Amino acid sequence: MLGEGIIKGLAETARNFFGSYVNKERLTTVQYPEERLPRIEATRDFPFLVYDGDDWEKGLRCVACQICEKECPPKCIYIEKSKDKKPDAVGKPQNYPAKFDIDVSVCMSCQICVEVCPFDAIKMDVQFELSSDDRFGGLLLTKDKLAKSNEYYHEIHPTEAAGVDAALAEDREKEKEKQRLAAAAAAAAAAAKAAAAAAAPPTTVAATKDGAGSGGAAKEEAK
């Protein structure tokens, strides 16, 4: 029937409206900001940068690959790549963001930056009360404001953060094993080269000595 959906919707609204006078469960709104609805784990507002350890600058997972900057639909991420490198969690030298800004007045909370990040370096925050009377910079979040600890990430999205930690631990273990095998192979190659050099006959020196000897013998014979 044409308009059946609209009638059902209006009926549900009426049921909640009148029902809310007798049943608190039917009250779908709260008196914000004095009252707040409980936050669910899937809540997402604006992105933040995750860091490991105690030092936010050293611990930032972001390697300034700029994928999120390219993929952000409204182009509200701005990154400047560092000229030098710093060791990551497994000691591999990596670039880091010399500058990382997000203009949250433009951000539409689509989470695409999070989806495309290969390093689990950017995640969605749950803070939405960011209003400011500074219309030119109040909503421009710089690197120091965006950086938040992995503990904070666990606090707001425990299930997701535990999964990320497990995946990162596995990747880091694989990387360490790769580095260990490469170091062992390099050490074995160096040892084999040294052994081969030690076992080889001293041809050049012998030739020189022989040459000198023969020459000396020839001289003796000529006398």
* Interface pick for ligand SF4 out of 48, 62, 153, 164 (rule CB under 6 A): 62
Q: 15 near 8, Cβ under 8 Å?
A: no
Q: Taking Cα atoms as reference points, which of 60, 42, 163 lies closest to residue 109?
A: 42
Residue number with CB closer to ligand SF4 (12 or 115): 115
Shortest distance, position 72 Cβ to ligand SF4, whole Å = 3
Alpha helix (H) residue ranges in the chain: 4-19, 56-59, 67-71, 112-116, 143-146, 150-156, 158-199, 203-222
Q: Is 92 helix (H, G, I), strand (E, B) or coil?
A: coil
Q: Is 130 in the site for ligand SF4 (CB under 6 A)?
A: no
Buried (b) or exposed (e) across 40-79, using 16+ Cβ within 10 A? eeeebebbbbbbbeeebeebbbbbbbbbbbeebeeebbbb
Q: Is 126 in the site for ligand SF4 (CB under 6 A)?
A: no
Stretch that binds ligand SF4, among 16-24, 103-111, 138-146, 195-203 (CB under 6 A): 103-111
Residue number with CB closer to ligand SF4 (65 or 156): 65
- d(CA 95, CA 88) in angstroms, rounded, equals 9
Q: Is 161 in the site for ligand SF4 (CB under 6 A)?
A: no
* Interface pick for ligand SF4 out of 47, 150, 156, 164 (rule CB under 6 A): 47
Q: Is 111 in the site for ligand SF4 (CB under 6 A)?
A: yes
Binding residues (CB under 6 A) for ligand SF4: these are: 47, 62-68, 72-74, 76-77, 79, 102, 107-113, 116-117, 119, 121-122
